[in-house]
Structure 1
């Protein structure tokens, strides 16, 4: 009888030890799984919104604008912290200019003029479409915008469309709004405005 109790006691001890080892292995496996999942989470890449130049460069409607920004040496500026609001002419807007104008502006000797034209499309600060519309409404129908170039644009409404009037009386319609960038916002326009 003593042998039977002793044998049962030893067997129960072995079972407890085996059970503990299985629990330890199970805990270790769970810990490894959690650590592996943690590592996998840490390895996920954070996708950062591109700058104004990056957004424009990724859009086929702004190829002429991007070429002009590069020719004027404004890439670094428009990649800066900002925030900026850019009234960005689409390719068709540049195509409306008299023949040879774009080619002439892209020449190295025209860099100063090109820079003035491009910075006339840039405003310091971030103005979403709703902000511009509210400013027009609060201003009794117009909103004067001071550009980075130093000149002004006058924003008004024609129905639901925002119209920009430049210093020479030329008009441009905003055709796409609120294209977000990490350092501001882009509003596409259908005509190049001139200082």
Structure 2
């Protein structure tokens, strides 16, 4: 990926949450961040690496699962799942591709694999990568990873 600084100031000034929202592929992820209360945290100084499931990834969840997670009584579980998609620090796709596992913000380790030039994080595969943000980086993934321990 291109590692030169972005000359697009609109990208460079947006935080990871607002940058993901501007992408258009992460509407459901953004809604989940708002409902969980994590959006404000992730707009903070960071840096953060978001492994953001695309809208298509959320559509792969079992019927009714997303609606259930968005209910106030399931906020703790939603936060745990979302935090499983966040890494402390700014990690490019190249950085993540060198890992065998990554410690997520929820405390659980997620397996990482590089195979045939494709990066897998948990059970998901990168579909977009290195969306530069003012407080980190966003990578789009094709599946919502559910941590085994929440």
TM range (shorter): 0.7 to 0.9
TM-score normalised per structure 2:
0.88
> Does residue 67 in structure 1 map to residue 14 in structure 2?
no
2:131 to 179, 182, 185: 179
- Cα shift at 1:150: 0.4
Match of 1:92 among 31, 56, 63: 56
Partner of 2:92: 128
Q: Secondary structure at the match of 1:103?
A: helix
Q: What residue ranges of structure 2 are gaps of 5+ in the alignment?
A: 1-8
Name the structure 2 match of 1:57: 21
Residues paired across the two proteins, number: 138
Aligned-pair distance for 1:185?
Answer: 0.2
2: CA distance between counterparts of 1:159 and 1:85? 23
Point out 4+ residue stretches in structure 1 off by more than 3 angstroms. Answer: none
Deviations 1:24-50 (A, max 9, x none): xxxxxxxxxxxxxxxxxxxxxx75520
- Equivalent in the alignment of 1:151: 108
Once the 2 structures are TM-superposed, how far is the Cα of residue 130 of structure 1 from its aligned partner?
A: 1.4
Cα root mean square deviation, aligned: 1.2
Q: Residue in 1 aligned with 2:79?
A: 115
Q: Report which of the two structures shows the higher radius of gyration computed on alpha carbons.
A: 1
Aligned to 2:4: none
Please report how far the alpha carbon of residue 129 of structure 1 lies from its aligned counterpart in structure 2 after TM superposition: 1.1
Gaps of 5+ in 1: 1-45, 137-142, 166-170
Query: Structure 1 residue 131: deviation in Å?
Result: 1.3
Which one has the bigger helix percentage? 1
Who is 1:78 aligned against?
42
